[in-house]
């Protein structure tokens, strides 16, 4: 039978192990995405991941960022409002065109 001190130690060790394994899995995922030339995170608003194909158009060689026209218009408007002197938080209050 384990003492309370032993149980506490095992619990702390288990938590450290789980945290370490999560970090290793994240690193492995990022490395795998980098090998595939993929964006390891979700693209910013206004962009999407698009497959990059070889010249024959059959085999994927990676992923490239592609502009989403509908979202890009909103991004342009936000930048225009900010360039005209409006603060970023105030751009959400600006009337929609």
Would you give the end-to-end CA distance of the chain in angstroms?
72
List alpha helices for the chain, DSSP H.
4-35, 69-83, 88-91
Q: Domain residues of the chain, as ranges?
A: 4-67
Output 8 or 92, whichever has higher pLDDT.
Answer: 8
- Using alpha carbons, select from 24, 68, 62 the residue that is nearest to residue 43: 68
Q: pLDDT per residue over 46-86, tens digit each?
A: 999 888 887 777 777 777 889 999 999 888 988 888 899 88
Q: pLDDT per residue over 15-40, tens digit each?
A: 999 999 999 998 888 888 777 766 66
Tokens of 7: 């149980």
Give the phi and the psi of residue 50 in degrees, each rounded to 5: -125, 140
- Using alpha carbons, select from 37, 60, 35, 65 the residue that is nearest to residue 49: 65
């Amino acid at each position: 039978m384990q003492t309370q001190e032993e149980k506490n130690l095992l619990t702390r060790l288990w938590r450290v192990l789980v945290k370490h394994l999560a970090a290793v899995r994240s690193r492995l995922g990022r490395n795998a995405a980098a090998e595939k030339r993929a964006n390891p995170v979700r693209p910013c608003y206004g962009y999407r991941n698009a497959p990059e194909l070889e010249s024959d158009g059959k085999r994927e060689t990676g992923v490239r960022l592609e502009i989403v026209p509908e979202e890009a218009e909103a991004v342009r408007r936000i930048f225009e409002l900010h360039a005209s002197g409006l603060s970023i938080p105030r751009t959400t209050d600006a009337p929609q065109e």
